[in-house]
Amino acid sequence: MKIAVLVKEVPDAAVEKRLDPASKRIDRSGEKNLNPFDTHALEAAVQLKEGGAPVEEIVAVTMGPDSSVRTLHKAVSLGANRSIQLTDDALAGSDVNATGYALAKVLESEAPDLVLLGQQSDDGENYTIGAVVADHLQFPSLTQVVDLKLEGNTLTMKRQAEYGYDTVEVDLPAVISVGDALNEPRYPSLKDIMGAKKKPLDTKSAADVGIDAGQVGEAGSKTEVLAINPPPAKEAGELIEDADADVDATVARIVSFLEERKLI
């Protein structure tokens, strides 16, 4: 079987994120990294393979600018056998709908048995791309999976829904987004990191995978950001920044706070 893992380049967690007032998009300049939620999807693919599933290959797929090559190298160092980068100026500014469509077109040409992805991107906070991709592929789809077993062609999965834990069975092919509680992603070895750049990386344009240019990019997107506003003003709380320097003083301050608010 072939597993495709969707990955995304996001601003590094340490970088303060902001919106670009001109484009009204997230400012994605500065340090970037593989979306941490996607590392759980890569780990899940590797564990399926190590667990004895007949996985012939794991393919990391991304849509992004030139710099996203580094994200693919990282994905390969974490267990993908090869990678595909969908990159095209026509794709810039794509919203969720357009991005899901574009990724589905790449996946169509790969015909994977299982598509895995992280439950959310660290920057967009949408949780939605998996279900968009699945509808285009006409695959069943489940999100936020925290336990996953493959027996034969059947995936059995557990996840939290509105009323507690649900268990759901799906016959492959399927698109599954995984929660961060599913596994503990491993660290790549130096050998894996060094070797990643030598693994095959296909770069594809929108036309290469048959994307209708009218359906992607800013023009093809079905949402439009009209304005960026500050959040409602909230009285800033008090912050003890270096609480470990004097734990007794910190504790005394917490106690006095609780007293002031009549909580003890």
261 three-class SS: coil
Smallest distance, another protein to C-beta of residue 245, A: 8
For the residues of 51-90, what is the DSSP string, one character each?
Answer: TT----EEEEEEE--GGGHHHHHHHHHTT-SEEEEE--GG
Q: Does 22 participate in binding another protein (rule CB under 8 A)?
A: no
Q: Does 151 participate in binding another protein (rule CB under 8 A)?
A: no
Q: Does 26 participate in binding another protein (rule CB under 8 A)?
A: yes
Residue choice 64, 112, 139, 196 for contact with another protein (CB under 8 A): 139
Q: Give the nearer residue to another protein in terms of CB position, either 153 or 189.
A: 153
Element (H, E) at 248: helix 247-260
Interacting residues of 36 by C-beta distance below 8 A, sequence separation 6+ = 13, 118, 122, 180
Residue choice 31, 198, 229, 233 for contact with another protein (CB under 8 A): 229
34 three-class SS: strand
Q: Does 66 participate in binding another protein (rule CB under 8 A)?
A: no
Smallest distance, another protein to C-beta of residue 199, A: 31
- Token couple for 237: 């709380």
Which residue do the tokens 């990282």 mark? 74
Q: Does 126 participate in binding another protein (rule CB under 8 A)?
A: yes
**Which 203-222 positions form the footprint of another protein (CB under 8 A)?**
215, 221-222
Residue choice 12, 57, 180, 192 for contact with another protein (CB under 8 A): 180
**Identity of the amino acid at 59:** V
